[in-house]
Structure 1
Amino acid sequence: MSRYLRTVPFLLLPAVLFLTAGLVSCSQYSTKPVSKGYHNLTAHFNAYVIARDQINQAEQIIFKARQENYNQLMPILLPVDSMGMQPVKPQIDDAIKKASIIPERHQNSKWLDDAYVLIGRARLIKQDLPNAIEVFKYVNTKGTNEDDKHTALVGLMRAYVEGNDYTNALNVAEYLRNQPLNKLNTRDFYLTKAYLHERQGEYAVAAGILDATFPMLKKGESTARLHLIAGQLYDLIGQPTKAVDHYRQVLKSRPTYDQSFYANLYAIQSNGLTGDQKRIAQSAETFENLLNDRKNVDLKDKVYFTMGLLEARSGRVDKAIKYYSQSIQAAGTNTTQVPYTYLEIGKLYFEKKSDYNHAKVYYDSALALMPKQSPDYAALLNRKKILDDFVLYKTTIQTEDSLLALSKLDAAALDRVFDKTIAQREKEDKAQAALAQQIIDQATRGGGSSMPGATNSNLQPAERWVLYNPVALSQGKQEFAVRWGNRPLEDNWRRSNKETSGAMAADNSPLNGASPANSVNPNAPLQPADATVGGIPVALNSPAATQKAQKDAMRAKVPFSKEAQAMANQRIENALYKLGKLYKFELNQPADAIPTFEQLLTRYPNTLQKPEVYYLLHLSNEQLGKTSPWKDKLLAEYPNTSYARLTGKVAAQTTDSEAQALKTYTTIYELYKANNNVEALTRADAALGSFAGSQLEDKLALLRLMLVGKVKSVDDYRQAMNEFIRDYPGSQLLPRVKEMQAAADLLTAKRK
């Protein structure tokens, strides 16, 4: 027995040696079959499969949690969003760790390239674009499998697109276009390239690439989504028939309920563009079914919006506005659709009715609710600014004209106008109070509110936003009336007497014994110590005292003095000038610009803007194809202005050679050096038109500018500098003129 036990170690020795040799041969740098087989097996099941499944699952979670904006063109691929990936960040980080095991421990594994591709995908999901790009580049450079390299290049192209580096993305796409891609890489390449062109606004190309992709896709929610996007793209490029085909394909691709709902709505909209009367006639029945379907309770605003859109496309503007208004009322607490509905109403008032005051109101509402990242936001903001200016100029003209008219009335007539205005205000206030009471009664009975944003709300009044809460709104108005009284909407509305000086207001403050705060009114408004009407003392809060305060406030605005009237006329002149330019350039309405400019010249014939107004009247009439005398008047009265040169008459008739121009310039310059400035300026004014288009034009303009500074006033000198900067933006002499302008400004500031 003892001898048997002594022989056991010798029997185990070969097995130990075999295992040791196997472990040595399993080095990750070994190329032996046993080693490679071991590392392939371990890398695949202990790292690659786990990381791949985690990334795939994370992408599915992100896709399911997406928030689609069906009011806008949807992105073909979901954009990288650092906030949207937060719920899956832990598993993405773990996937990176798992995939990193392969390059750390299994260098000789065939899964090495795949591991780097997974790391790149994970970095892309995390919006770590620089590292994702480096990983994809590494695979393309060091990889050994062509399919893996192509997969990495598709990922690289996607990373460039997300980083808005479209030039490099197109370079990668051009390379891949000539490569033999497998089916999976071909599908991903097409989708990424379509996404690239969609981001660049090349919708026709994106739609064509999507059409080539659909045969490689299986039916399902993601494919239905892509058909919906393809329909949107074809709508945008004016091919509604193809758009309808894709909307029908949505219904055949196992879509979600929202996808099928919007596919039906979009198909109706596209049918309205195709002119298919049969399908248009069927729309009314479709709308009725959609509105009556209980599943669409929270989608009725979209149905009404589509109904309005069809009416607008048919030219029935008023009916379209009616349906759009119903869409807003049906929105309830879900205001996603509302800003786009406001936008469409604003467009109708702006483009179809030319009612800019109403358009401004709806644009303001749209801008207040629209997300800043929306593609429509920037254009909407720009148009809102234009309409703000328009309303400002129109209001200025109307207000100042009304005040000037009041200044011509005698005291009795003026007092009657004030009484009528106050009575009208009181009537409007009573109407508003009655409406508020009606809203309160409806809220008390549990009825729906007619206010936008409050209709069909399931929230209790106390839970609503204050401006959508009729009870809180009415209470606020009552509290305001108790504290401040019936105050008109005007500057310094808190002060009872607008003429009261700051010192007097301080003397009458509660701190100095006037109108103390009390339990009813903890912050009593400032009031004078007493009030009289016709020499008879009256109570401070009596109707007579309130009416007197209102009349005093209105009378203070009337320009009775010549100085005040001159200032009012100056404001009207500036508003007419700016309004005419806004019509001409911003609103592209030359037919409205012409009477505005003509009114300016009629009312203010000595306006300093006369040469420019002549020129703009000439351009506006020319744009409408009309003949007008304004060009001849400009050349006759202001031949040496920049506006006369802009008409192009002199330039077209110029036959002088550059040599003759140089001779003329030299003569004027010699007069300048001889200090004969008046003669030099006269010749420069006469010659400037003939220099149009020559190489010496800006040099002569600069010489004339310096002569104006020597001969004429400071204002003329400043105007000449401004004209040079405007007329010669590409001149090499422009920096010198700007230095002259800065020096003039500095000198003026020192003198002040």
Structure 2
Amino acid sequence: MKTPIKAILAITCSVVLITGCSRKKDNFVSRNYHAVTAEFNALYNGYLALEAGRNTLNESYADNYWDILPIERMQIQEEVVLPGQFKNENFNRAEEKAVKAIQKHSINIKGKEKNPQIDEAYLLLGKARYFDQRFVPALAAFNNILNKYPTSDKINQVKIWREKANIRLENNEVAIKKLKRLLYEEELEDQDLADATSILAQAYLNTKSVDSAITQLTIAANATKSNDERGRYRFIQGQLYNKLGFKDSANIAFDKVIELNRKTPRIYLISAHIEKIKNFDYENGDKRALLEHLTALEENRENRPYLDKIYHQIAEYHLINESDSLAVNYYNKSLRTNSQDKLLRAKNYQTLGDMNFDTSMYETAGSYYDSTMANLVLNSKPYRVTKRKRDNLDDVIYYENIARVNDSVLQLVNFSETERLEYFESFVETLKAKDEEEKEKAGTAARNTGLAMVNNKIGGQIQNSAKPNQATLFYFYNPTTVAYGKNEFIKIWGDRVLEDNWRWSNKTTSKSGNKGPDINIADLASDEERFNPQYYISKIPSEEKVIDSISKERNFAYYQLGLIYKEKFAAYNLSKNKFQSLLNSNPEQRLILPTKYNLYKIYELLGENDEASIAKNEIITQYPESRYASILNNPDLADLKDKNSPEFIYETLYAQHENQEYSDVISKCETYINAFDGDPIVPKLELLKATATGRLLGFNAYKKAINYVAITFANTDQGKQAQKIESEILPKLASTDFVEATNDSSTHFKVVYKFEKAELEQVSGFKKNLDTIIKNIKYHKLKTSVDVYSPSVKLVIVHGLKNAQLAKTFDQLLTKADQKQINKPYFAISSANYQIVQIHKNLDTYLSLNNN
């Protein structure tokens, strides 16, 4: 039987094709087979993956329009990627396809590549690594093409991408040099020219050469085929002109972005409009035309995704034109858009905070500053500036609340019975109206719940016929009941942190962090008492002692507010009002003189010379022996630390503390705390007193003293330091357990000589003799000190002994003559146990353990 000719031909062609496609043969069939297969299989799929990865990058990247935009949209991520890991799976796939093309379709014969698609594969490999932010391997791939395929038709693109990688590796000078050479040696056109000049502009920006960057961006914008890129390059040009202060040139650049209209992404268009508006000359420009332009932007439906920016700019317009209420309205509108631009939100909150600050609404300003910090990068410079300003408000908020509440109470105290009754009858009527409103809201919520049940039916059937009301009746599914519950919780418990034991009284917090919640007395009343005016009248303080305490607390708050407004905020009129209110409120004697002196200084600062002269004469006449009178009579002393100044006294006491004169320090601190009551030096004296008390009397006394400072001066630096000591340091010092000798790994031991009250006069001479003797002890570097243990006990210590046995046999290091001089009993103790003895004053317990 004859074999058909067609079959023979088919077999022959197949054999020829298979043998001709070998990667070891350089022939027409082999070259073209591998070239076509590489291009339309591996490389095609690889470029599809690369493009998908780039789209993902663009979608996830958010430009910061408050700063100069980068030329290329790519967010550099800081996290370290281990070998074999990838930041984006699409780039991993693109790299795999490039490697596959190289491995399966490379025809390398005698060191020369015969497949014209392999250089394209290496280019894809480099791009995939570049976008995956592995810049060193990307650079290796680009260099491989330059070394092996110098005649490639992609060679200029490769050179551009190599310099992009160099720039990412911060080799900006190298990139500038090579890109300038490329532009000089090659006649680049279209997209190659745009890519080369744009990336050169980025290198110039990185090296602060703004002028050169602008020139290159002009070339790139004219050469690129992409309107997306053209809009970005023009917008960056405008930003750079603004940075240089050339507003007219910047506006021309922004106009070119606006002319592109829908050809470029709308975010560039809107941002160009906003940047032009920022450059508007409010002194000479047409403000009405500007407002019409802003209104047109606001009303354009296409601009809805960017209303946050537009509202912000309209608010800025009204703020500059001193239309504060309109400005506040638009700042709030911008915030209500739930903008994703955190910096924009921060600026809105910051401006609203500043506006409230300028009108002395400090508590509201503090809340806005809290929101500002929540939208700023932690520990960034803007964050630290805002935090410093916010921290300064804590004291204001704290004392303003005290003054407001106590003023209200004292006002009620001074009312007649008729006035009290009228006041609380009006208050009860307000409560009743509020209750009616709450009931109406609850009824509306119930009706809405029923409506929601009906609307949950599909085709007239309830979705879950087994339990039709379960979802709609669940408490947390109804926003009205949830909001009501939150308000009720805050009324009763205040603002509490979510933590264990949240019901404890010391867990109470507030937004300012300084005070407990303002519990409304009406919320604590029974239903019968709530609407009875006599219930509230009965709560008004009547005891003289209580009223006096409230008045003193209010007066002290006035004094502190006067100081804060004067020293921290330079709000001299506010400070003057507080000090004057204090003097009109029958203040304690201790506050009158410093208040008058501060008023004198404020009058001087405000240029009210007549009032300043009156205040000065009052101080000199009525308080001639005071330090304030001395300063006023001798102005040169104001800049010096005279012996009567609080600062000088504190420094003197601190030196005594360093010299272990603890009893004297405690006694003098008490005297000066009373003398300087109301002065900012008092918290420092209290903290110094607490420290001296701890050194002299031990842990329990120190704990009590520190707690007093932490509570009494909670809003001062010393109070905050005491709070930190109480929460972090004291728990570490609480243990009284000694370290047993078998467990003591200490290499520092001490020899201790104890001197009781009757022997204290001998301490100085004993130490002097001991110092002379230990100088003659060889092989050991010893030194001595005298430590106060208690008011009646001092300890002479020998330091520098390296082990317990050496310390216990210390007397054997002395000569017989020396032993006769130093014949007092001693005991050895490790440094760790000595610290416990001094902290807890439990020396007798230690000695009873027979450690020696």
Alignment partner, residue 496 of structure 1: none
Report if the CA contact (8 A) 2:138-2:165 is conserved: no
2:217 aligned residue (213, 218, 223): 213
2:317 aligned with 1:310: yes
Alignment partner, residue 273 of structure 2: 264
2:190 aligned with 1:190: no
Please identify the structure whose Cα radius of gyration is greater: 2
Q: 1:609 to 1:264 in 2, by over 3 A?
A: same
2:557 aligned with 1:575: yes
Q: 1:40 to 1:640 in 2, by over 3 A?
A: farther
How far off is 1:402 after superposition? 1.5
Say which SS state the counterpart of residue 277 (structure 1) adopts.
Answer: coil
Amino acid at match of 2:213: I
| Post-superposition CA distance 1:503-538 (Å, at most 9, x none) | xxxxxxxxxxxxxxxxxxxxxxxx99xx9xxxxxxx
Aligned mates of 2:374, 2:646 — CA distance in 1: 51
2:255 aligned with 1:248: yes
Aligned mates of 1:615, 1:115 — CA distance in 2: 83
How far off is 1:406 after superposition? 2.6
Aligned mates of 2:321, 2:691 — CA distance in 1: 58
Amino acid at match of 2:220: M
Pairing 1:511-590 to 2, within 5 Å after superposition: 541=527, 544-548=528-532, 552=535, 555-556=538-539, 558-565=540-547, 567-569=549-551, 571-573=553-555, 575-584=557-566, 586-590=568-572
Q: Which deviates more, 80-89 or 593-602?
A: 80-89
Alignment partner, residue 227 of structure 1: 234
Q: 1:100 to 1:255 in 2, by over 3 A?
A: same
Q: Which deviates more, 558-567 or 305-314?
A: 558-567
2:669 aligned with 1:716: yes
2:402 aligned with 1:426: no
Alignment partner, residue 399 of structure 2: 393
Q: 1:688 to 1:299 in 2, by over 3 A?
A: closer
| Post-superposition CA distance 1:652-701 (Å, at most 9, x none) | 789xxxxxxxxxxxxxxxxxxxxxxxxxxxxx94799999xxxxx98997
| Post-superposition CA distance 1:591-624 (Å, at most 9, x none) | 433443565577545558987x799778767766
Aligned mates of 1:707, 1:380 — CA distance in 2: 42
Alignment partner, residue 355 of structure 2: 349
| Post-superposition CA distance 1:538-591 (Å, at most 9, x none) | xx75xx44324x8646754x4444554455345435533553454345544344
Q: 1:288 to 1:713 in 2, by over 3 A?
A: closer
Report if the CA contact (8 A) 2:99-2:125 is conserved: yes
Alignment partner, residue 73 of structure 2: 78
How far off is 1:155 after superposition? 2.9
Report if the CA contact (8 A) 1:360-1:384 is conserved: yes
Alignment partner, residue 508 of structure 2: none
Say which SS state the counterpart of residue 713 (structure 1) adopts.
Answer: helix
Structure 1 residues not aligned, in runs of 5+: 1-18, 27-37, 160-168, 447-462, 494-501, 503-526, 532-539, 655-683, 692-696, 728-735
Aligned mates of 2:608, 2:300 — CA distance in 1: 57
| Post-superposition CA distance 1:402-460 (Å, at most 9, x none) | 213333456665444333322234345556777999999999999xxxxxxxxxxxxxx
Amino acid at match of 1:188: I
Report if the CA contact (8 A) 1:342-1:363 is conserved: no
Report if the CA contact (8 A) 2:315-2:327 is conserved: yes
Pairing 1:42-191 to 2, within 5 Å after superposition: 54-55=49-50, 58-64=53-59, 66-68=61-63, 77-80=72-75, 89-97=88-96, 122=128, 125-126=131-132, 132=135, 154-158=164-168, 169=170, 172-174=171-173, 176=175, 180-183=180-183, 184=195, 187-191=198-202
Amino acid at match of 1:264: H
Aligned mates of 1:739, 1:478 — CA distance in 2: 48
Amino acid at match of 2:168: R
Alignment partner, residue 756 of structure 2: none
Aligned mates of 1:73, 1:586 — CA distance in 2: 35
| Post-superposition CA distance 1:106-127 (Å, at most 9, x none) | 8978999999997776556445
Aligned mates of 2:355, 2:103 — CA distance in 1: 66
Q: 1:568 to 1:434 in 2, by over 3 A?
A: same
Q: Which deviates more, 290-299 or 431-440?
A: 431-440
2:684 aligned with 1:702: no
Aligned mates of 1:303, 1:92 — CA distance in 2: 37
How far off is 1:708 after superposition? 7.5
Aligned mates of 1:703, 1:565 — CA distance in 2: 41
Q: 1:564 to 1:412 in 2, by over 3 A?
A: same
Q: 1:91 to 1:490 in 2, by over 3 A?
A: closer
Q: Which deviates more, 107-116 or 616-625?
A: 107-116
Say which SS state the counterpart of residue 557 (structure 2) adopts.
Answer: helix
How far off is 1:397 after superposition? 0.6
Amino acid at match of 2:91: I
Report if the CA contact (8 A) 1:137-1:153 is conserved: no
Amino acid at match of 1:182: L
1:593 aligned residue (561, 570, 575): 575
2:695 aligned with 1:743: yes
Q: 1:738 to 1:402 in 2, by over 3 A?
A: closer
Q: 1:265 to 1:401 in 2, by over 3 A?
A: same
Q: Which deviates more, 95-104 or 212-221?
A: 95-104
Q: How many residues align?
A: 580
Alignment partner, residue 417 of structure 1: 423
Q: 1:478 to 1:241 in 2, by over 3 A?
A: same
Q: 1:751 to 1:80 in 2, by over 3 A?
A: closer
Report if the CA contact (8 A) 2:431-2:531 is conserved: no
Report if the CA contact (8 A) 1:583-1:592 is conserved: yes
| Post-superposition CA distance 1:200-229 (Å, at most 9, x none) | xx8xx6687345433223252133134334
Report if the CA contact (8 A) 1:71-1:340 is conserved: no
How far off is 1:398 after superposition? 1.0
How far off is 1:362 after superposition? 5.2
Aligned mates of 2:322, 2:181 — CA distance in 1: 50
Aligned mates of 1:741, 1:117 — CA distance in 2: 75
Aligned mates of 1:259, 1:588 — CA distance in 2: 43
| TM-score normalized by the length of structure 2 | 0.50
Q: 1:551 to 1:264 in 2, by over 3 A?
A: farther
2:398 aligned with 1:404: no
| TM-score normalized by the length of structure 1 | 0.56
Aligned mates of 2:671, 2:94 — CA distance in 1: 68
Pairing 1:270-669 to 2, within 5 Å after superposition: 270-271=279-280, 273=281, 275=283, 277-278=285-286, 280-297=287-304, 299=306, 302-324=309-331, 331=337, 339=345, 342-343=348-349, 346-347=352-353, 349-350=355-356, 353-356=359-362, 359-360=365-366, 383=389, 386-387=392-393, 389-409=395-415, 413-427=419-433, 472-473=479-480, 489=491, 541=527, 544-548=528-532, 552=535, 555-556=538-539, 558-565=540-547, 567-569=549-551, 571-573=553-555, 575-584=557-566, 586-597=568-579, 599=581, 604=587, 606-607=589-590, 637-638=626-627, 649=636
Amino acid at match of 2:94: A
Q: Which deviates more, 398-407 or 291-300?
A: 291-300
Aligned mates of 2:529, 2:644 — CA distance in 1: 68
Report if the CA contact (8 A) 2:579-2:599 is conserved: yes
Say which SS state the counterpart of residue 182 (structure 1) adopts.
Answer: helix
Aligned mates of 1:689, 1:366 — CA distance in 2: 37
Say which SS state the counterpart of residue 531 (structure 2) adopts.
Answer: helix
Report if the CA contact (8 A) 2:421-2:537 is conserved: no
Give RMSD over aligned pairs: 6.7
How far off is 1:346 after superposition? 0.9
Q: 1:233 to 1:275 in 2, by over 3 A?
A: farther
Q: 1:622 to 1:379 in 2, by over 3 A?
A: same
Q: 1:439 to 1:266 in 2, by over 3 A?
A: farther
How far off is 1:248 after superposition? 0.8
